[in-house]
Structure 1
Amino acid sequence: MPNRIEYYNFVNGGYFWHHASGETYPLGILVDQGDVLSDRQPHGKPAGTLIIYKDGNVAVKELLSIKSEKNVWFAISGCTILPKINMTAAGFTGVYSDIGRTTLRPVIGYRKKDKKIIIAVRPSSSITRAQITLKNLGCDFGITLDAGGSTALQVKGKKLHNTTRRLNNVITW
């Protein structure tokens, strides 16, 4: 059934757009279990990419392409918000600066002290408030995911946030 996500736990992933047919395609870097699903940035500029390497190390790097990275298990790009917000450098300017607006906002970060990936969804959150959220959760670095009307979150089978949009990608755990 289209538009039905069959995972027990998930959050929507990175930015995407639509072909004229209605099919969606990712606008950023996506790697799943070592397979590169997408390797482009929407504005032709390096953008924040959360990377989990096969050895368990985690990083957020500003990347135009994932090809220069070795042994990548998982990667997703968005916009770096921690340690600093990189909207302008990543090309999120003009009409694209709306990614910083106040909205329902999912974020993903990494907390080095206990080696945990942290996912949070916060209502009424600007990109600045999202940065504060990751800091308050003890993260050392992180990115914002696709926010607003694309936000979806399900934990332990319970839908906490839902969307009617056809999503291109989700993060599961």
Structure 2
Amino acid sequence: MMSILTNEFQPPQDKPKKTVQESEAETTIVMLPSDANPLGNVFGGMILKYVDLLAGLVAKRHAGHANIVTASIDSMTFLKPVYIGNALILKARINYVRRSSMEAEVKIVAEDLNSSLKVHTGTAYVTLVALDEKGKPTEVPQLRLRDEDEKRRFLEGQTRMETRLKNRKR
């Protein structure tokens, strides 16, 4: 697909914008024995696979025209185990957007399907980059922030992105 050319002298407010809600996503997957170790704990790598897939989905929804690649996943702490038979619930949203990169937040919850008890097991912050048909970074829509929570998440995402960039230059 061809990307839309924009006049580089346009003021930023004239650039396309999307709301967080236009790209957010949620998925639920039942964890099976093949997803876990012999003790019944789901492999962390299996959870990270789903985190990466859902983050990529919300980034693609936000960017629209572009191919999406994962640039980084911030350090991931598994707060509680996920077990065979649990429903793994992942909720993803775009928190922050630069020119061609986006931060997706993925919240991970385990649900015991016998008791309906839900436990927050972790949150991941994933940096994704939009690429054009030649594999070069391409501009994505900015975020239209609709409330104080979205503004707070945007500023926190901006801080994390600046930290990532500073650490990358070391």
What band does the TM-score fall into relative to the shorter chain?
under 0.3
TM norm structure 2: 0.24
Larger Rg: 2
Which structure dedicates a bigger proportion of its chain to helix? 2
Which structure dedicates a bigger proportion of its chain to strand? 1
TM norm structure 1: 0.24
